[in-house]
Amino acid sequence: MTSSANQQKILVAVVGVGLVGSEFISQLLSIPPQVSHFKLVSLTSSSKTLFAGKESPITPNAQWKSKLAESTAPADLKELTTKLTQLVAEKERVALVDNTSSEDVAALYPVWLKAGIHVVTPNKKAFSGEAALFENILAASRESGAKFLNEATVGAGLPVIAPLKELVATGDKIVRIEGVFSGTMSYIFNNFSAGKPEGPSFSSVVAVAREKGYTEPHPADDLNGFDVARKLTILSRLISSAPSATPSTLPSLQSFASVQTASLIPPALEGISTGDEFLKRLPEFDEEFAKLRVEASKENKVLRFVGVVDVANGQVRAGLEKYPVDHPFATSLGGSDNIIMFHTERYSPRPLIVQGAGAGAAVTAMGVLGDLLKLV
């Protein structure tokens, strides 16, 4: 009998069974049961809940999709909370995995944490939303000892949050975090700005990115920079809230809207309601973007849409910046990769760099499952 088989298994309830949710369930169930530390006890879609319970958990061969479809119980997070709280009372270790991007689900984290239920999620809403919610999450976790883990909120499966926590917890001083945090923005500018004055038009690159599924249905939802602002908020709060940190020089962010974000949406195109209409009008602004590319090229630079948490200067900002053609953001970056540089007291003058795919169901689900494994 191995120690893993002896150890108490963690009971897992999954909320959200879309692309990331399905892939997560598939990865979780592919761990051979004899070495798995988990029992999958519940699934909740937007319409239904399946509560299998700890005695008859959902197994690899269980055809979970059809079972969930057959369930007669409506999606009811209040009822789910009651059942999971009961399991905690029975001395079980319980984790809720939120694979949605819902604000309503995020609003429940403090309730779950207070009840002793661990929360693991790729959902950015809670950690980048209102400061009060974030503080309630911290307080609830401190109170009960239940953990909240959110590696997959920044860079999907890339090691970003865990290494940052480790840097801070071991006493390193973060000077600046700087990166390309959006796979969409990465793809767009890797293709639009390669160091030469000429190249494809901005609108054509955005159109191709949309065809390939790299953008949201409405490209303005990427070009507004909000996704990057949310990720920066998460990193910035993580630095500021670390228990051993010296008083942070970072601004206290009321929400991701407090990040200085330079949107790429031309003001004249603000508020256009459909992606198609937006793309039809975008060529009117190709000349403006082309001018920026020429200017960058004159300085032997490329354009990249980056996020910066500048601890030294107390600034959190997202926007288009210029980088020399021999900078890793120009030379090493490609495809729709994320790249993140940690400039710290110890990693100086050369930063710690992490790079790779920062979006997609498989790597996002991996980031979530990786967090769950940290609870073992």
Binding site for a copy of itself (CB under 8 A): 2-4, 6-7, 27, 30-32, 35, 141-145, 157-159, 162-163, 166-167, 169-172, 243-244, 326, 328, 331-332, 334-335, 337, 342, 346-347, 349-357, 362-363, 365-366, 369-370, 373-374
8 A C-beta contact, residue 38 and residue 9: yes
**Please, are residues 24 and 122 in contact by the beta-carbon 8 Å criterion?**
no
17 is in an annotated binding site: yes
Q: How far is the CB of 318 from a copy of itself (least distance, A)?
A: 23
Q: Which is nearer to a copy of itself, 202 or 342 (CB)?
A: 342
Which pair of tokens denotes residue 226?
């909000």
Residue 314: CB minimum distance to a copy of itself, A: 23
Please name the residue that has the structure tokens 């009960």.
Answer: 144
Length of the chain: 376
- Based on CB atoms, which residue is closest to a copy of itself, 266 or 370? 370
Q: Residue 91 catalytic?
A: no
Contacting residues for 29 by C-beta, under 8 A, at least 6 apart: 40, 58, 59, 60, 64
167: CB partners within 8 A, 6+ apart = 174, 342, 344, 346, 352
- 367 appears as a binding residue in the annotation: no
Rounded CA separation 264/278 (Å): 13
**Smallest gap from residue 235 Cβ to a copy of itself (A):** 16
Out of 125, 231, 301, 322, the active site residue is 231
82: Cβ contacts below 8 Å, ≥ 6 apart: none
Of 44, 9, 40, 10, the residue nearest 27 (C-alpha):
40
* 155 annotated among ligand-binding-site residues: no
Judged by beta carbon, residue 26 or residue 102, the one nearer a copy of itself is 26
Q: Is 166 annotated as belonging to a binding site?
A: no
Cβ-based nearer residue to a copy of itself, 2 or 273 = 2
Nearest distance from C-beta of residue 220 to a copy of itself, angstroms = 27
Show binding-site residues: 16-21, 100, 124, 216
